[in-house]
Amino acid sequence: MAVYNPKSLKAEEFINDEEIKATLAYAEANKNNVELIDQILEKARPQKTATGCQCTGLTHREASVLLACEIPEKIQKMYEIAEEIKLAFYGNRIVIFAPLYLSNYCINGCVYCPYHAKNKHIARKKLTQEEVKAEVIALQDMGHKRLAIEAGEDPKNNPIEYILDCIKTIYSVHHKNGDIRRVNVNIAATTVENYRKLKEAGIGTYILFQETYHKKSYEELHPTGPKHDYDYHTEAMDRAMEGGIDDVGLGVLFGLEMYKYEFAGLIMHAEHLEAVHGVGPHTISVPRVKRADDIDPDMFDNGIDDDTFTKIAACIRLAVPYTGMIVSTRETEEVRQRLLRVGISQVSGASRTSVGGYTQEERPHDTEQFDVSDQRSLDEVVRWLMESDHIPSFCTACYRAGRTGDRFMSLCKSGQILNCCHPNALMTLAEFLEDYASPETKKEGYEMIERELARIPKESVRKIAEQNIRDIRSSNRRDFRF
Ligand code: SAM
């Protein structure tokens, strides 16, 4: 039987079923242990240091106790601390991105995904480079600067060379004042060699959702195709790191398996990356299964309600304080609003989940991967964020300045966010306001920028940011960053 070892490179040892079951039993036994819960909450809280503050995070066992706890005041405390952590390390900035679907050809049999190979009636489509260009222009015209590219797994139709060509095309398009400055990649688990090629192509984060950490369920949910191999899939992030990609994004597709099992597995995966590579995941995504072409989410028995979902997000925030957290347009405006308060740092906006969807006047459904719940325009999403005092940020500075992996984490821990990320967010917001916003959003945006510039502690930085924003307003000069 496999023995738990976070430093092992074998899936069954770092995501160890016995350890997860023991964790769940420990959490269940202690879910009303108020003394222990208070200790864990205290441990999670940011501590003041000479340069700012720091967090220790929580182990998967500690975090699982909090997730199991059902005492309303303690849950409230979790939310408060989650927000405190978020504000301490990410401030009130929310990074915005959009997915770009390149191809829905797929040879896998994932039972929750309409792109599964047995789906013979869904239209199959793969963008040509001309079509990629047109999609990118449409995305730039909305104001997007960051994309996450998505594709099914199909070595014939979507080989790595195709993905690399698309990345090249995306970075080459400069329409009016627009450009895409960071391409994150969400494609199936692949080889070290291919990860190296992706790194060389200048990608930001490599994102791969585990879907479920429960091996037996995983194999049932992925009955056919290369994705069936649990170990190969679970060990993908280690290969990505070996290939030089040090920003990786984890995620679980909530609803497939029991959420407490998934949560423990997810935190163990983060601990494993930290133990082996010295840096945890750059982001964690929290997708829930959605209705799609031939997929009914009620087919799965483990759907979670909005309260549980919010609690999961807060517990992730407490466990891995420096990891960015992403919520997509799978969720409604209301749920996204709730999640923003408990630690989300990135949202997608104005997403279309069909291949070629951005160049269509009406939202197309023929090649769609799942129903989008939040269908607002990017301008509306930007205004909505500002109305709840969040700074919409299109910043891509870190990875372009080489601040990836542990260097990004050091910045996050250094307390320099207000002198670096904060002005970068404001300058990219100014670009959006100048080039793409409606008059109403523009007005609110500049009011926010004025208020927020005053919060930059270092006078020299504040002066430069003010000057750059004046330049953005009065000229076509763009892409300033600290
Ligand atoms: N094909 C790649 C893979 O296998 O990892 C990645 C891209 S896939 C386009 C992106 C993600 O969408 C999947 O990892 C899965 O978690 C999610 N997804 C698939 N079907 C979904 C559904 N019905 N509702 C919500 N999310 C879904």
Between 419 and 341, the higher pLDDT residue = 341
First to last CA, the chain: 51
- Confirm whether pTM is higher than 0.85: yes
DSSP-H helix ranges across 107-159: 129-142
Note the pLDDT tens digit of each residue in 45-66. Answer: 999 887 778 899 999 999 999 9
Q: Determine the pLDDT at residue 412.
A: 75
Residue 399 has pLDDT above 90, yes or no: no
Residue 406 has pLDDT above 90, yes or no: no
Q: Whose structure tokens read 């059902």?
A: 70
CB contact set of 159 (below 8 Å; sequence gap of 6+): none
Backbone phi, then psi, for 99, in 5-degree steps?
A: -80, 150
The encoded tokens of residue 38 equal 């208070």
**Separation of alpha carbons 135 and 139, rounded Å:** 6
Nearest to 270 by CA among 225, 342, 318: 318
Distance from the alpha carbon of residue 173 to the mean position of ligand 1, in angstroms: 27
Which of 113, 213, 218, 230 has the most ligand 1 atoms within 8 A of CB, as the residue to mutate? Answer: 113
Amino acid found at 102: L
| Nearest residue (CA) to ligand 1, atom 1 | 152
Closest ligand 1 atom to the C-alpha of 227? 4
Q: At 250, is the pLDDT very low, low, confident or very high (cuts 50, 70, 90)?
A: very high
Amino acid found at 123: A
CB 262 near ligand 1, within 6 Å: no
Note the pLDDT tens digit of each residue in 125-154. Answer: 999 999 999 999 999 999 999 999 999 999
Q: Determine the pLDDT at residue 390.
A: 98
The encoded tokens of residue 24 equal 């769940």
Kindly provide the b/e burial profile for residues 154-164, where b requires at least 16 CB atoms within 10 angstroms of the residue's own CB: beebbebebbb
Backbone phi, then psi, for 103, in 5-degree steps?
A: -160, 140
Distance from the alpha carbon of residue 113 to the mean position of ligand 1, in angstroms: 6
Q: Determine the pLDDT at residue 415.
A: 66
Q: Determine the pLDDT at residue 95.
A: 97
Angstrom CA distances, 293 to 69, 187, 270, 357, 394, stand at: 37, 21, 33, 16, 32
